[in-house]
Amino acid sequence: MDLPVYKAQIDGEDTGMYTVSLVDYPAVESNFLYFDEDVKPMTFAVEDEEQRIVTGVVMRCDFPIYRRDENGYEYYIIYDKQTIEVMAEKWLAEGFANSVNLMHDADRYVDGVYLKEVYFKDTDRGITPKGFDDITDGSMFASYKVTNDDVWNAIKSGEFKGFSLEGWFSVKRVETPEEKAENALIDEILGMLDEIKNKVK
Report the alpha-carbon distance of residue 55 to residue 117 in Å, rounded: 9
Report yes or no on 200 lying in a domain: no
pLDDT of res. 42: 31
Residues 109, 99 contacting (CB under 8 angstroms) = yes
Report yes or no on 194 lying in a domain: no
Report yes or no on 38 lying in a domain: yes
pLDDT of res. 112: 96
DSSP string of 120-167, one letter each residue: E-BGGGTB--TT-TTSPTT-EEEEEEE--HHHHHHHHHTS--EEEEEE
Pairing mode, strands 65-68 and 162-168: unpaired
Number of independent structural domains in the chain: 1
pLDDT of res. 34: 55
pLDDT of res. 139: 94
Report yes or no on 55 lying in a domain: yes
Q: What value does the mean pLDDT take over residues 118-128?
A: 93
pLDDT of res. 25: 81
Report yes or no on 145 lying in a domain: yes
Report yes or no on 96 lying in a domain: yes
pLDDT of res. 37: 41
The Cα-based distances of 12 to 90, 100, 168, 169, 195 in angstroms read 11, 23, 10, 9, 39
Higher pLDDT, 13 or 99: 99
Report yes or no on 186 lying in a domain: no
Q: Which domain holds residue 60?
A: 5-174
pLDDT of res. 43: 26
Helix (H) or strand (E) holding 117: strand 113-120
Higher pLDDT, 178 or 156: 156
34-48, 53-67, 108-122, 134-148 — which is least confidently predicted?
34-48
